[in-house]
Amino acid sequence: MSAPADIRKLSKEETIHALQQMGESAFRGKQVYEWLWKKGAKGFAQMTNLSVELRNKLQANFIILPLQVHVLQKSADGTIKCSFKLHDEHFIEGVLIPTETRVTACVSSQVGCSLDCKFCATGYLKRQRNLEAGEIYDQVWILNDLALQHYGKGLDNIVYMGMGEPLLNYANVWRSTELICGEDGLNMSWQRITVSTAGISKMIVKLADDGARFNLALSLHAANDERRTAIMPINASNNLDSLAEALKYWYDKTGTRPTLEYTVIEGVNDEEPELGELISFARRFPCKINLIEYNPIGDLAPFKPTSAGKLQRFADGLEAARLVVNVRRSRGKDIDAACGQLVNKTQ
């Protein structure tokens, strides 16, 4: 007898077909799909408008493998970090980031990461596996619930900037955005979602060709090939020229300006020559720039944040060059929830 299948891996059409194969109507299949994604059911017993007989049949033929909150930590600034336990005993982290104007969920796409970025704590972990679309969706569902409980409002934004490289888990990341934004799911606006990549040129092109409707961010952090490769080994196979071409293609195809994420690190990328390189790169295609405070990652790496004065000079220099720039202040540092700090010490 075959093992029960994960019902959340099925599309809507496949779910309907599976129910019909069990002797049920297409309508019942639509009900089950709605329970899974619009109502967030984590077990068949929760599907209360289905008969007990049908729920038992579903239980016999399928499984649901939701993630669970393992440890929840709340920062002094209101940031909430969740360690999530997966069905196979792996752990990931997601973060809820409140500000005066919005509440943002930062979600993970892989267990660990394979890209070895030198300034990022997750980069020092081994990649174990990709997350399923349902596991990404569960992070959003749980963090949205926490936003309602703690801040009285749902999520304004969702950023794929947690553990892992989203474009190396392309199919599941893509499906998760469809579940989050689809009418059969959470029905959130596509413009609320930003997918961030360390820079895989051919996959950026694929996103554009596939008609992506969400926002795109590139973790740049250096606009000089030698310097960028030293801190982000992925640059050796996806250099700045290829990334610039891919981002220009993205803009031409989607009409949406990508965001360049630039973490300013003392002695690495915070001097006048590096500012000039960033300006030159950003002028190659329409874009926005986020300057990010570096968050130390303990004994994993010796990097330090740049001074407040240098960070401001970078911002002023970019504005003087008539580029769109925002300075992103770190939040959740006291619980290792800030950008680049996710390593899951709580498991």
CATH code at position 240: 3.20.20.70
Residue 105 and residue 89 in contact, taking contact as beta carbons nearer than 8 Å: no
Query: If residue 57 lies in a helix (H) or strand (E), which one and from where to where?
Result: helix 52-61
Whether residues 88 and 211 fall in one domain:
yes
Q: What pLDDT sits at residue 245?
A: 98
Q: Is the pLDDT of residue 242 over 80?
A: yes
Q: What pLDDT sits at residue 328?
A: 87
pLDDT in tens, 20-33: 999 999 999 999 99
In a domain, 13, yes or no: yes
Q: Where does the pLDDT of residue 133 fall: very low under 50, low under 70, confident under 90, or very high at 90 and above?
A: very high
Whether residues 140 and 49 fall in one domain:
no
Catalytic entry in 82, 106, 113, 339: 339
In a domain, 196, yes or no: yes
Whether residues 102 and 246 fall in one domain:
yes
Whether residues 56 and 102 fall in one domain:
no
In a domain, 345, yes or no: no
Region of poorest pLDDT, from 113-127, 158-172, 200-214, 238-252: 113-127
Which residues on adjacent β-strands are paired with residue 280? none
Alpha helices (runs of H) in 152-260, residue ranges in sequence order: 170-181, 201-209, 225-231, 240-254
Between CA 337 and CA 59 the distance in angstroms is 37
Q: Is the pLDDT of residue 301 over 90?
A: no
Q: Is the pLDDT of residue 337 over 90?
A: no
Q: Is the pLDDT of residue 340 over 90?
A: no
Q: How many Cα atoms are found within 13 Å in the side-chain-facing hemisphere of 330?
A: 20
Q: What pLDDT sits at residue 342?
A: 47
Which residues on adjacent β-strands are paired with residue 81? 73, 95
Q: Is the pLDDT of residue 338 over 60?
A: no
Q: Where does the pLDDT of residue 332 fall: very low under 50, low under 70, confident under 90, or very high at 90 and above?
A: low
Whether residues 56 and 83 fall in one domain:
no
- Whose structure tokens read 């030698």? 226
Whether residues 29 and 174 fall in one domain:
no
Q: Where does the pLDDT of residue 227 fall: very low under 50, low under 70, confident under 90, or very high at 90 and above?
A: very high
Domain final residue pick, 63, 86, 102: 63
Residue 65 burial by Cβ neighbours in a 10 Å radius (0-12, 13-18, 19+): middle
User: How many percent of the chain have pLDDT more than 90?
Assistant: 87
In a domain, 135, yes or no: yes
Residue 55 and residue 45 in contact, taking contact as beta carbons nearer than 8 Å: yes
Q: Where does the pLDDT of residue 172 fall: very low under 50, low under 70, confident under 90, or very high at 90 and above?
A: very high
Give which of 305, 295, 291, 223 is closest to 259, Cα–Cα: 291
Q: Is the pLDDT of residue 334 over 80?
A: no
- Annotated active-site residue 93? The verdict is yes
Catalytic entry in 93, 132, 274, 277: 93
Range of the domain at 13: 5-63
Give which of 259, 263, 239, 258 is closest to 314, Cα–Cα: 263
Average pLDDT for residues 37-48, to the nearest whole number?
A: 96
